[in-house]
């Protein structure tokens, strides 16, 4: 799928993690004013689904941010955490509360208390959601780097095709730190004949401990140049944070310069981060529309 050449604003979305039941959701409202200023196309509510209660929390927050913040809300639904019967009831409740945006994933790595088999993959989940109500707008997740359980590119391409055929209207990637991985998954969509817009997942690395977690738990690889930049601040938490934000803004500028359809930011529930990256995004869009942004990347790989 070729990237758009139109000088229009890419979609901007943020992902917020909803705290456990013990933590009052009212605390999340501290970030609502910041999110409102960022003017996102929607905010995705992600919760802990391991005990089968995460969706209720996510819907509660998504509804609150729509009603009190005036920001479109969305929820993430992992297929392995829910049965058809329970999910149908949840979807009906969502519709009544005006939540129609969904990111459907399989839920790899969530390790729920009990893994349900009603939806073996995200494709079956998407198909079911669209059967319950065709008006749900369902995005599908995809991996810029190989899926941890990948059997090869043919299987990966087939899964992308299945999700599109099931009714997905958009793709949202997991985090990545080299633009070539984003281009690679674009090529897979071309191979599969999937002509859906794809938003790039940006997760800033803000703490030293995150580097090993990303490698071990998600199989994410860092470009050597970026790893070396972070290594300079291993004993300087503030400097490490700043370098992580700087690199995320560089990623955003490259994506805007290449006319990516959208940028999806994993916010870490950090108001300062939301502010800085949204400002970086709109600066990049302004430079792109003025015709000056592309010059930054003419000599870069």
Q: Print pLDDT tens along the chain (301 aa).
A: 444 444 578 999 999 998 776 556 666 777 888 999 999 999 999 998 877 778 998 999 999 899 988 999 999 999 988 999 999 999 999 999 999 999 999 887 666 566 788 999 999 999 999 999 999 999 999 888 866 665 567 777 888 899 999 999 999 999 999 999 999 888 888 888 899 999 999 999 999 999 998 988 788 899 999 999 999 999 999 999 999 999 999 999 999 999 999 999 999 999 999 999 999 999 999 999 998 887 776 545 4
Predicted TM-score (pTM) of the model is 0.92
Return the bridge partners of 11, or none.
262
Contact present, 260 and 2 (Cβ < 8 Å): no
Q: Which residues of 159-190 are buried (b: 16+ CB within 10 A; e: fewer)?
A: bbbbbbebbbebbbbbbbbbbebbebbbebbe
CB count in 10 Å sphere of residue 300 = 9
CB 190 within 8 A of CB 1: yes
Say if residues 71 and 43 touch (Cβ distance below 8 Å).
yes
Q: Are 25 and 64 in contact (CB under 8 A)?
A: yes
Question: What pLDDT is attached to residue 112?
Answer: 57
* pLDDT (0 to 100) of residue 159: 87
Q: What's the confidence (pLDDT) of residue 6? A: 46
Q: Is 132 exposed, middle or buried (0-12, 13-18, 19+ CB in 10 A)?
A: middle
pLDDT of 148 = 60
Q: What is the reported pLDDT for 201?
A: 97
pLDDT value for 216: 84
């Amino acid at each position: 799928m070729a990237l758009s050449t139109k000088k229009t604003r890419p979609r901007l979305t943020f992902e917020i993690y909803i705290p456990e039941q013990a933590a009052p959701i009212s605390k999340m409202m501290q970030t609502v004013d910041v999110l409102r200023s960022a003017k996102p196309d929607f905010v995705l509510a992600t919760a802990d689904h391991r005990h089968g209660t995460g969706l209720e929390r996510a819907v509660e927050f998504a509804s609150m941010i729509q009603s009190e913040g005036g920001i479109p809300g969305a929820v993430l639904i992992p297929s392995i955490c829910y049965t058809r019967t329970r999910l149908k009831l949840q979807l009906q409740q969502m519709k009544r509360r005006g939540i129609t945006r969904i990111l459907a994933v399989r839920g790899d790595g969530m390790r729920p208390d009990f893994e349900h088999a009603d939806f073996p993959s995200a494709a079956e989940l998407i198909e079911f959601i669209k059967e319950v109500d065709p008006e749900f707008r369902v995005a599908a997740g995809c991996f810029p780097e190989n899926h941890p359980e990948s059997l090869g590119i043919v299987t990966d391409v087939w899964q992308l095709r299945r999700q599109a055929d099931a009714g997905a209207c958009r793709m949202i990637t997991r985090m990545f730190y080299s633009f070539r991985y984003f281009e690679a998954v674009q090529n897979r969509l071309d191979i599969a004949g999937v002509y859906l817009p794809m938003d790039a997942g940006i997760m800033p690395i803000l703490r030293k401990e995150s580097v090993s977690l990303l490698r071990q738990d998600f199989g994410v690889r860092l470009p050597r140049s970026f790893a070396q930049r972070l290594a300079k601040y291993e004993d300087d938490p503030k400097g490490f944070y700043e370098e992580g934000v700087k690199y995320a803004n560089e990623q955003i500028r490259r994506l805007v310069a290449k006319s990516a359809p959208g940028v999806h930011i994993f916010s870490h529930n950090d108001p300062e981060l939301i502010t800085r990256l949204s400002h970086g995004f709109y600066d990049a869009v302004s430079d792109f529309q003025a015709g000056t942004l592309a010059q930054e990347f003419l000599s870069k790989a």
